[in-house]
Amino acid sequence: MANNPLHTELCGLSMNSPIVLLSGCVGFGEEYTRVEGFSNADVGAVCLKGTTGDARLGNPPHRIYETPDGMLNAIGLQNPGVDAVVDDILPGLDFSETRFIANVSGSTVEEYERVTQRFDDSDIDAIEINISCPNVKEGGVAFGNDPVMSAQVVAACRKHTKKPIITKLSPNQTDIQENARLCIESGTDGFAVINTLMGMAIDTATRTPVIGNVRGGLSGPAIKPIALLKVNQVYEVAKPHDVPIIGQGGITTANDALEFLIAGATAVGIGTALFYDPLVCGKINTGIASYLEQHDMSSVSELVGTLQT
């Protein structure tokens, strides 16, 4: 690892690349291993699909819709439940290849606690908290859009695990910096910035929503400028506390990844790009390594937060 310029330290995890495969895009860590030429060893970490306390069937179709420069999705957290993930799926993953991060989701604080505690007693390397879920006890208001509620979820999960906690921040809120501050005070070890933006598409022939859930999360290149700004804003808050950021949102090339690193991200998340180029991670790794060599840098960490203003 010492001679690998792509080696990255994230929340105490040693990773062989700054690339993290994003939750919901690679199933439970095994989907892309079926693609010839792809290996989990090429990425620093894999974030598993969102997991809830009990099994969920997800939303009605259509669940995915391609936009001019991205994708709308409303899967609805379809998953087999945390017990099935821990008992049946995790034993089949090769933890010698890469790091695996669980994604915890819930509709109540109590569900977040339950799922976090179950993953704490497993081989998972870290836990990502998806605070964009609607709080059923508060009329469906998303935890992630309210800084106080976000902090409550982080604090609750913190009590139930000693593993690194990475909080996924929503862009659909008024003050992402205040949210980050409160989450740091509540015990988060890192951030994933950003989650998808909310959007919709309409079938003009029928005048009905294309997405069965009416609205969905927008990802892909269309959201990159927003994600880049949010990463830089959160970095201003996180830097004094040495809290790292996984920068994500529309990264499709090595240059995209470099922008996020310069803005303050310690690692970069790849998601939508995988749907049309399953081998994109190797290209991004090569591009980052080439940039470091050209600028006489020996590690990715030398590039993080080097934005000149």
**Per-residue pLDDT tens over the stretch 245-255:** 999 999 999 99
Give the CATH superfamily of 8-58+77-196+219-302. Answer: Aldolase class I (3.20.20.70)
**Per-residue pLDDT tens over the stretch 106-144:** 999 999 999 999 999 999 999 999 998 776 677 666 899
Check pLDDT > 70 for residue 225: yes
Spans of all domains in the chain: 8-58+77-196+219-302
Say how far residue 304 (Cα) sits from the centre of its chain. 18
The rounded distance, in Å, linking the Cα atoms of 21 and 17 is 11
Which positions ≥6 away from 183 have C-beta within 8 Å? 147, 150, 151, 154, 167, 169, 191
The proportion of the chain whose per-residue pLDDT surpasses 70, expressed as a percent, equals: 98
Check pLDDT > 70 for residue 26: yes
The residues annotated with a catalytic role in the active site are 133
Q: What's the confidence (pLDDT) of residue 140? A: 63
Q: How high does pLDDT run on average in the chain?
A: 95
**Per-residue pLDDT tens over the stretch 86-109:** 999 999 999 999 999 999 999 999
Provide mean pLDDT across the span 58-75.
Answer: 95
Q: In terms of Cα–Cα distance, which of 307, 306, 287 is closest to 18?
A: 287
Q: In terms of Cα–Cα distance, which of 161, 162, 163, 182 is closest to 173?
A: 182
Which positions ≥6 away from 249 have C-beta within 8 Å? 171, 193, 194, 219, 223, 224, 226, 227, 228, 230, 269
Q: pTM value?
A: 0.97
Q: What's the confidence (pLDDT) of residue 221? A: 98
33 pLDDT tier (thresholds 50, 70, 90): confident
Provide mean pLDDT across the span 233-258.
Answer: 98
Tokens of 196: 């998808």
What are the backbone angles phi and psi of residue 126, rounded to the nearest 5°?
-155, 170
Q: What's the confidence (pLDDT) of residue 110? A: 96
Which residues is 127 bridged to in the sheet? 102, 165
139: number of CA atoms within 13 Å, CB side?
A: 0
